[in-house]
Structure 1
């Protein structure tokens, strides 16, 4: 049964019910009820316990109890996958419509979907995505402000260009943003951290 499967994983980790409850943040009573088959557990409970035990949710569905496995799949199926992270990632492309619009749109998208993240890691990843937009926008703003000054004092490239140098610089930065977004989307599809190199400043 699903509940016995949970217990087997807990015992394999040499954890008591109280230790599992403390580590997961799920109440001891809820852990006990799940293992005693008194409760099938909410989507949040199931996924949080799986994360705490370090197991994949589909490993619990490999139960000899067909009805228990089916019930489990229904519970997990009601939880959206990481598509909310993908929404946040795609929303950053709003910078292509208007400079720095990405910060506003990504912030709004994060605020809309933040309660959908049942895994702490997912919420941290969403915050890193927002952090990326803030860092990129601030860095871009400083670069665009100081580019004309540096060019005037040292480079003098703008004197021979029909299009101002800072516009070329912005286009390069915009391309880098697009590249980062595409790489993040690819890593999300592979189930990896989309931006492991970005600090969380939220």
Structure 2
């Protein structure tokens, strides 16, 4: 999943606004059909001769076309930063009870205009809600399990430590996936928000 899957590629968008097919754009520009297809599928900024030719066909200055690509890149970077902040703010749970829900929720709420930030932010927060519910249940039953199975050894601290360590591992794994632009993270069937 790319960071801007809901946005048409720039070249495709301009081409369709002008009413050209890919083949017509290739003929008018003198570029190969394969080049047009590659530009549209990759959404990479054209350079040099390709930029000049497409700008002429689109009846715009090359700088205007470049600016469109730079705005998209800036939006992608902003979205990626917001998602990373949501994920990293989870670590606050170590010192602040429910910080793993409160801080990501605030960051998500402020940046949810972006469809991708909204979707991934929801997934991250939903996972944290589920994590808190499960950890709370384990902490509640651990004294009873301790008496029943571990001859009165207090396991509540072990449960807490393992639960916290698990959540830190999830944050680190999610951060590594986000760094690789892999947005297929924390897809759980249960959704609270």
Q: TM-score range by the shorter chain?
A: 0.5 to 0.7
Q: Give the whole-Å Cα distance in 1 for the aligned partners of 2:10 and 2:141.
A: 63
CA contact (8 A) 2:127 2:186 kept: no
Show the 5 A alignment for 1:1-202. Answer: 5-6=11-12, 32=17, 35=18, 55-58=41-44, 60-62=45-47, 63-65=50-52, 66-79=62-75, 80-115=78-113, 117=114, 120-158=115-153, 164-193=154-183, 195-199=185-189, 201=191, 202=193
Cα 1:121–1:112, aligned 2, differ >3 Å: closer, same or farther? closer
CA contact (8 A) 1:131 1:199 kept: no
Q: Give the whole-Å Cα distance in 2 for the aligned partners of 1:133 and 1:196.
A: 10
The one-character-per-residue Cα deviations of 1:55-93 (angstroms, maximum 9, x if unpaired) are 4432x5454233243222332244224110000001100
Q: Which moved more, 1:176-185 or 1:94-103?
A: 94-103
SS in 2 for 1:74: helix
Aligned residues: 151
SS in 1 for 2:63: helix
CA contact (8 A) 2:91 2:168 kept: yes
C-alpha RMSD of the superposition: 2.7
Offset at 1:151? 1.5
Q: Give the whole-Å Cα distance in 1 for the aligned partners of 2:68 and 2:90.
A: 35
Q: If the length of structure 1 is used for normalisation, what is the TM-score?
A: 0.64
Return 5+ residue gaps in structure 2 as ranges.
1-8, 20-39, 53-61
Offset at 1:200? 5.5
Offset at 1:196? 4.2
Q: Give the whole-Å Cα distance in 2 for the aligned partners of 1:129 and 1:167.
A: 25
Q: Give the whole-Å Cα distance in 1 for the aligned partners of 2:12 and 2:131.
A: 43
Q: If the length of structure 2 is used for normalisation, what is the TM-score?
A: 0.67
Q: Give the whole-Å Cα distance in 2 for the aligned partners of 1:109 and 1:94.
A: 13
Which has the bigger relative contact order, CA under 8 A and spacing at least 6?
2
Offset at 1:155? 2.6
Return 5+ residue gaps in structure 1 as ranges.
11-16, 18-31, 37-53, 159-163
